[in-house]
Structure 1
Amino acid sequence: MARSLIFLIGVFYAVFSGYAGSCAKHSFQRKVLDQSLAGNHVSKDYGVQSIRIPHSLSQDRPKLTVREDDYLSSKASERKVLRRTKRRWSPLPFNIIENDVPPFPKDVEVVGSDSSANYSVYYTISGPGVTSPPIGVFSVNRDTGMVRVHRAVDREEYPQFVFEAQVFDRRTNRETDLPLPITVVVNDVNDNAPQFSDSLELWMLEKSSAGTTVGKLNATDKDQENTPHTKIQYKLLSGTDLFVINSQTGVITTKTATLDREVQDKHLVTVQIKDMDGAPDGLASTGTATILLKDINDNPPTFREKSYSAKVQENKADVLVLRIPVDDKDLKKTPNWNAVYKITKGNEKGNFRIETDPKTNEGLLYVSKALNHEEGGNLKLEVTAENEAKLVGSQAAWASIPVDINVIDEDEGPEFSAPILQLRIKENVPNGTLIGTYTAVDPETKSSEGIKYFKVSDPASWINVDENTGELTIANTVDRESQFVTGNMYNITVKAVDRSSKTGTGMVLIRIEDENDNAPSIPSKDLILCEKNGELGSVLVEAEDHDLHPFSGPFTFELADGHDGKWKLKDMKDTSVVLQQAQELPTGVYTVPLVVKDLQSFGEKQVVSIRICQCRAGQCIAKQSSVSLGVWGILALLLGLALLLLLCIFCTLACTTEQEKIYLDDASSGMLLKSNTEAPGEEVNAPIVVVPSSVVDGSVKMGHIERQEALNSSGFGTLNINQETLQKNSYPMYSRDFSMTDTLHRYNSGIYGGSTQFEGGQQQFTNEYSSLETWRTNGLYLDKKLTYFITEGDGRYADDLIRAYGYEGEGSPAGSVGCCSDQEADDNLDFLNTLGPKFKTLADVCAAK
């Protein structure tokens, strides 16, 4: 009741204050308006507020408190008398209560305008809560301006509404005053209980001290902030014997240091949160917080038994002897639980090793090196179990247990006095020399009786092993430089066999001492010396010795007896010497005898072959040699040139015959035609060079002569030539006027076969005479042909032209031998100096004669 009375008094005060302020404001605005109409801009503080009103009042819409047409006429000089009216727009915000209870609608507040005194007005409102979402919450009475609320409003969804109120003239529907923003504030009520905003799961290490912070709980309230509706108080409803919570901040701390994960790994506590700072009428919520305890290594692993024992067979390695289980209360599969085992006693010789089974956490005890029963039948070990993580929060120590190992005896083979026997001998020791004895004993009887010895490996077959005594003797010459020796060491393997066929194996390492049994040698005796103009060349000679120091280098080099004095030695070093020319030498191969001796003056004569030549990239290149030819050599070359000349004549005649068919005798039974065969052809007995059938005017283009060919049983042809033709072509041998009938067997390189007959005077020519005349005839023919080439250039056939070959390679000193080639001068014999090595033998023969 008291609260309602206070609320009504506050509303009355607010309305009264607004009215008083409105009156003062109207008085101030009238004064400002009067000054503005006089043409002044007013900006002055009159105790209420500072307002600046412009001179021009030509805006379309009415101002907040006055209308332009109330003060101004259509002419600037006319003025109306201003009337002061009561301002009824409500400037303060309206208030409603959220989630108000029915009945609805409920009146909120009246809005009013001063223009209602001069006009018949009506009111409208628009905006959120009216014409925009949420639509229909508010409405206004058009006549009275009463704003009403039609349903309950949740402040948490809509803390306030701001909409616009307007006033209109009923007659003209024009606004009679400026629109006024209306704010409706929704007053909060405590209608929301606080809620937890974060996870309720917290964690801490076990056995933490009292007062250790566990974590903080957070809560929120949807009601209005900074009011008692959102002031939350925290309270533990359970677990108060172990934990404490701060009522204002929600921080939980430990109350004791006895929290043990191995006893209980998590704790559930109930927490209450209440608004109104925990007042009885406040709203409350509860939640269950889970506090997890994290593990620390406060428990060492413990053995399930107080001691362990096992048996193992001797002479066996990598055998699992024993599994040792442990228990650990800490969290499994973590460093606090994973066990690490150590053998702390009894494993001084390293015969055992222990590992951890990752699945079961057991200790696995292995024999890493074979045990010998004769050395000890019983072994006592001590095994300790630890964790990967350090032990904290506990006064306990790492546990240890004893482990007894019994070694089981078995019948073993012989054992050599030493697994590896080392001996030292010199190379080239005489065969049969005793170098040592290698024996074995039975480990049970400690005796060598009845044991036999055999070789297992002897790569070079240098050593003999006595079957009964184990004596080692030389079987073949021992050579330190042999491929079977590595690092001066040679080894053999020996096997011992007892009466029960049990075996044992041993190794003999033989260190071989060096002797001076190798003279220095020159590995590369064929050397190349590259010729240089104006310089005396030299080559490097290197030697080597397979012996060791002091039986090897540095070497001594000497020229052996009988050297020719053309070479000398210089720049002698440990294993090499420079062999230099003592005089300028022509190209060729030279042999130089050398004596190479080691540090002990042990050496022998060796011969080095040196080739002096012109080089390219360090290798000799072939050089064309120039030789002098004797008289017979020159004649032989001239004979070859004559043959080449005859070949040219033949080619010339062949080229001038334009695929003319040549009939052969009956023996050939066909015609000789031009062939493109590139390989050697078959021998043909038909004529190769054909004498021209007729020479008419001395030109290369031969006139057609009537040729009468009659074939008889002998296959002879008849050729008729008159004296005028012979004289015109300057053949003096046929100066008489006669008709010649020449019966030919064949033409063969100008040699006529058979006989020749003349009408008007019979004359017989022998074969020899015919050959001579044919040779002369061909000479005259060639002279005529050359004369034609000089005197006449037009009308020649293309086949008769003399052409030079367009040869793209290197030139030949002998010139071309083609059928139409241009010959060199006959007196140029320079090519004889470059005929190459094939003519050397011929030149030597000719020079000798």
Structure 2
Amino acid sequence: MRTWTVCLLWVWAAQSVDAMALLKERTVGEEARGTQKDREILKRSKRGWMWKQFFLQEEYTGTDYQYIGKLHSDMDRGDGTVMYVLTGEGAGTIFVIDANSGDLHATRSLDREEKPYYSLRAQAVNKKNGIPLEPETEFIVKLHDINDNEPKFEKEVYMASVPERSHIGTSVIQVTAQDADDEMFGMSAKLVYSISQGHPYFMVEANTGIIRTALGPSDMDREQREHYQVVIEAKDMAGQRGGLTGSTTVNITLTDVNDNPPQFSQSIYQFSIPEMTEAGAVVGRVQAVDADIGRNAEMLFTLTSGDGLDMFDITTDRNTQEGILTVKKPLDYEKKKSYTLQIQVRNTHPDPRYVSLDAKDSATIRVDVKDVDEPPRFERPSYILEVKEDAAVGTAIGSVSATDPDARRSPVKYTIDRHTDVDRIFNIHAGNGSIYLRNPLDRENLAWHNISVIAAEFNNPQQTSRVPVYIRVLDVNDNAPTLAYFYETFVCENAKANQKIQTITAVDADEPSGGQRYFFSLALESSVRANFSVRDNGDNTASIFTRRTGFRRSQKSMHLVSVVISDGDFPMQSSTSTLTIRVCTCNRDGTMELCNAEALSGSAGLSTGALVAILLCVLILLLIVVLFAALKRQKTKEPLIISKEDVRDNVVSYNDEGGGEEDTQAFDIGALRHPEVMEESNKLRRDILPSEPLYAPPPLRRATNAPSRDNTDVRDFINQRVQENDGSPTAPPYDSLATYAYEGNGSVAESLSSLGSASSEAAQDYNYLSDWGPRFRKLADMYGGEDSDWDC
């Protein structure tokens, strides 16, 4: 068996010693294993030395390749037939081997912190045929560390806090640094901590990096100084010269403890407040100073003594830590003008380690009450008065009283708020407050009256106050009892004597204090005393009984029974009510079979009055429907005249009642819809044309004093209009009167009015209208008028 022989040149003595020891160990091991194999094959051969580990210094700065060691095989006889081959991590790039000599070199500088060792494999082969001369051997190249990394802290800035008043040596925080160098080789990673800034308040343990307080409780006062900045350094090589250093900053804050009691900012506080201020109103605020903060500065204010403990109260504002003085009860200037109070303040969470639990501060508060003009005050918050309902007008019911609380004692004037006494039943004396009746009372109408009385200062009417007055109207027996219901009962024709046919009861609007008690009896003047009787049951009810056997509906179908009802109060009131009893035919069981119409309607549940009311409702509904239809029809009609310009000759009067149901051609009212239909003169009328033109004008006669002139223009105009009306099928009826406002051009008659005459007494000749007389009389006969009604 062939073995490797390795020759290593090493410059350091310590490393050479390690190498020799390792070489010796491996040689002994190989010899033992070789001996065992030799024994197995009964042949013994000697093995050469073989290295498993090489050492290389990191951060090499030379220009040449760095020599690592030499690999040599026993098979190499020095004749150049052996070639060395290197494989593994970095082979050929980082590490190279001389194929002939076996010298191993590193091509560049290496960093142990990046990779501490490399695993390589070497083999000797025949240079000519490439056949391995022995098996492949694995070895390690380990980098030797140098101090090339400074210590680094986990954070650049640390935040820490410690309570103020802490003792010396109190732990604050621990800072640690890391060194990337090999801590197993030399002292490159051996760190020592020191403080470079923060003396004399803090110190640091050299080996652990724990920062502790360096001064006593009196020197570590937050109220004096709250924030500190400490710089800690870490140095390798155990702090020796030449070591590398890293640093960090630690910001330390002293936290507050309750070591200061609160104190008032002033010894006396002065406030003023108007009288009559409502309870809960703020009088003022007091302030106290506490050097502590947060929970340690929370305060509690209390009133300890003074003459206003029952009038004032004090609380603490949790936001501002101020004492708020408030009114507990309304103040009265006339009773007390000023108050003096003693207050104290202390912490709500005291710390007995620093301040006594009884630590507190005191101050004085003075409150002045300012006078204001107060409204009158009533003696009572409300009044309850009683009066009988039969009290006479002017009777005094009671009185109210109010006074001015101010020192000047202004007179008071009383009035009743009429919004609370709309019916003006009561009145009040303006000077003394006496309330009396102005109108009669009726308890049955209203049993309670709630009014409001206003009191105003005479000198200052704006200062008013009011008080409720409740007036109870006491009952007087002034109403007679009556039947509770409208009783309408019946008696059978086959009824027996002493048979009960109805039970009645009564009601009374009065309410006596002892309760109602009614008495029933038959009226003395009752004509049916022999037929029916009334029996008082003693429980405010009565029963109606028959007094004979047999009733005949054919003889008398209805009986009226007069019942007298009296009450039991004083003065006694009574009334007479009539009970209607119908006579009906019944079967043997007493069930009604036949009765008159009134009885049947009553038994059916509807009285005569109800039926009448229903009929009236039906008639009213029918009337509403008819009116609605008429209004709707009237709204749908088109206007007679559509435009204002169409009124020149469209005034039409007619009085045609028509010819009854068979007259369907009386007249056409289409002419009233629009004047354009009058132009259709060539159409025939649907009504009967008169044999003689009704509107044909007679020949006009001129006045004796008028100039001679022919009025052909007026005659032509009237004839044209008459023909249009006679020939138009849409014109009004022939017995209608049409009036046209046309005078013609240049009438020789001039003005027909006496106003235009030269003299009002001048005689005028109107004979030119004499031919119109018969035609106007014919119109008068048609319309039923007199001749005088048609005078022109």
Normalised by the length of structure 2, the TM-score is 0.53
What's the counterpart of residue 212 of structure 1? 170
Tell me if structure 2 keeps the 8 A contact 1:516–1:551. no
**Selected match of 2:212 from 247, 253, 262:** 253
Distance 1:137 1:491 in 2: 116
**Selected match of 1:201 from 141, 159, 163:** 159
Distance 1:519 1:84, change over 3 A: farther
Letter in 2 for 1:13: A
What's the counterpart of residue 153 of structure 1? 110
What's the counterpart of residue 647 of structure 1? none
Distance 1:112 1:101, change over 3 A: same
Secondary structure in structure 1 of the residue aligned to 2:26: helix
What's the counterpart of residue 270 of structure 2? 309
**Selected match of 1:294 from 246, 251, 255:** 255
Deviation at 1:107, TM superposition (A): 2.0
Deviation at 1:265, TM superposition (A): 0.2
After superposition, give the CA deviation of every residue in 1:535-588 in whole Å (9 maximum; x if it has no partner).
xxxxxx9999999998789x99999999x99xxxxxxx9xxxxxxxxxxxxxxx
Confirm or deny that 1:234 pairs with 2:193: yes
Tell me if structure 1 keeps the 8 A contact 2:275–2:369. yes
Deviation at 1:98, TM superposition (A): 2.4
Letter in 1 for 2:180: K
Tell me if structure 2 keeps the 8 A contact 1:552–1:598. no
What's the counterpart of residue 369 of structure 2? 407
Distance 1:595 1:121 in 2: 161
Tell me if structure 2 keeps the 8 A contact 1:113–1:167. yes
Tell me if structure 2 keeps the 8 A contact 1:453–1:470. yes
After superposition, give the CA deviation of every residue in 1:613-660 in whole Å (9 maximum; x if it has no partner).
xxxxxxxxxxxx9xxxxxxxxxxxxxxxxxxxxxxxxxxxxxxxxxxx
Letter in 1 for 2:102: G
Deviation at 1:373, TM superposition (A): 1.4
Deviation at 1:197, TM superposition (A): 1.8
Tell me if structure 1 keeps the 8 A contact 2:170–2:213. yes
**Selected match of 1:416 from 368, 375, 378:** 378
Deviation at 1:89, TM superposition (A): 4.6
**Selected match of 1:268 from 229, 250, 255:** 229
Distance 1:98 1:458, change over 3 A: same
Distance 1:211 1:180, change over 3 A: same
**Selected match of 1:438 from 389, 400, 403:** 400
Distance 1:552 1:23, change over 3 A: farther
Letter in 1 for 2:18: G
Deviation at 1:416, TM superposition (A): 2.5
Distance 2:519 2:200 in 1: 107
After superposition, give the CA deviation of every residue in 1:146-194 in whole Å (9 maximum; x if it has no partner).
2212333221111111233343321123444433333111122333333
Letter in 1 for 2:67: D
Distance 1:102 1:270 in 2: 39
* 1:66-85 correspondence runs (5 A): 84=45
Distance 1:232 1:157, change over 3 A: same
Distance 1:606 1:182 in 2: 143
After superposition, give the CA deviation of every residue in 1:494-527 in whole Å (9 maximum; x if it has no partner).
223323435331313437488698999999999x
Letter in 2 for 1:399: D
Tell me if structure 2 keeps the 8 A contact 1:323–1:362. yes
Secondary structure in structure 1 of the residue aligned to 2:355: coil
Distance 1:262 1:473, change over 3 A: same
Paired-residue identity, % = 23
Tell me if structure 1 keeps the 8 A contact 2:425–2:440. yes
Distance 1:559 1:112 in 2: 158
After superposition, give the CA deviation of every residue in 1:187-227 in whole Å (9 maximum; x if it has no partner).
22333333322453210122234443322222222122456
Distance 1:128 1:303 in 2: 81
Secondary structure in structure 2 of the residue aligned to 1:257: coil
Letter in 2 for 1:217: V
Normalised by the length of structure 1, the TM-score is 0.50
Letter in 2 for 1:16: K
Distance 1:342 1:324, change over 3 A: same
Equivalent residues, number: 517
What's the counterpart of residue 142 of structure 1? 99
Secondary structure in structure 1 of the residue aligned to 2:21: helix
What's the counterpart of residue 378 of structure 1? 338
Tell me if structure 2 keeps the 8 A contact 1:383–1:401. yes
Tell me if structure 2 keeps the 8 A contact 1:93–1:184. yes
Tell me if structure 1 keeps the 8 A contact 2:480–2:573. yes
What's the counterpart of residue 788 of structure 1? none
Tell me if structure 1 keeps the 8 A contact 2:118–2:141. yes
Cα RMSD of the aligned pairs, angstroms, is 5.5
Tell me if structure 2 keeps the 8 A contact 1:271–1:286. yes
Confirm or deny that 1:102 pairs with 2:42: no
Distance 1:303 1:109 in 2: 88
Tell me if structure 1 keeps the 8 A contact 2:26–2:50. no
Distance 1:346 1:219, change over 3 A: farther
* 1:375-774 correspondence runs (5 A): 375-386=335-346, 390=350, 393-395=354-356, 397-418=359-380, 420-425=381-386, 428=389, 430-431=391-392, 432-445=394-407, 450-456=411-417, 459-460=420-421, 461=424, 463-475=426-438, 490=450, 492-501=452-461, 503-510=463-470, 512=472
Deviation at 1:239, TM superposition (A): 4.6
Deviation at 1:374, TM superposition (A): 0.6
Letter in 2 for 1:330: D
Distance 1:123 1:594 in 2: 154
Distance 1:607 1:294 in 2: 102
What's the counterpart of residue 18 of structure 2? 10
After superposition, give the CA deviation of every residue in 1:467-518 in whole Å (9 maximum; x if it has no partner).
1111123556777888896xxx945232233234353313134374886989
Distance 1:598 1:411, change over 3 A: same
Tell me if structure 2 keeps the 8 A contact 1:458–1:493. no
Secondary structure in structure 2 of the residue aligned to 1:230: coil
Distance 1:144 1:515, change over 3 A: farther
Secondary structure in structure 2 of the residue aligned to 1:260: coil
Distance 2:260 2:198 in 1: 26
Letter in 2 for 1:250: G
After superposition, give the CA deviation of every residue in 1:413-438 in whole Å (9 maximum; x if it has no partner).
433333x1332536747355544321
Secondary structure in structure 1 of the residue aligned to 2:18: helix
Distance 2:506 2:65 in 1: 128
What's the counterpart of residue 579 of structure 1? none
Distance 1:25 1:368, change over 3 A: same
**Selected match of 2:180 from 197, 222, 234:** 222
Tell me if structure 1 keeps the 8 A contact 2:169–2:212. yes
What's the counterpart of residue 289 of structure 2? 327
Letter in 2 for 1:403: I
What's the counterpart of residue 763 of structure 1? none
Distance 1:429 1:286, change over 3 A: farther
Distance 1:144 1:328 in 2: 89
Distance 1:223 1:453, change over 3 A: same
Distance 2:147 2:403 in 1: 105
Distance 1:208 1:479, change over 3 A: farther
Distance 2:112 2:508 in 1: 111
After superposition, give the CA deviation of every residue in 1:666-698 in whole Å (9 maximum; x if it has no partner).
xxxxxxxxxxxxxxxx99xxxxxxxxxxxxxxx
Tell me if structure 1 keeps the 8 A contact 2:334–2:407. no
Letter in 2 for 1:207: R
Distance 1:28 1:283 in 2: 54
What's the counterpart of residue 169 of structure 1? 126
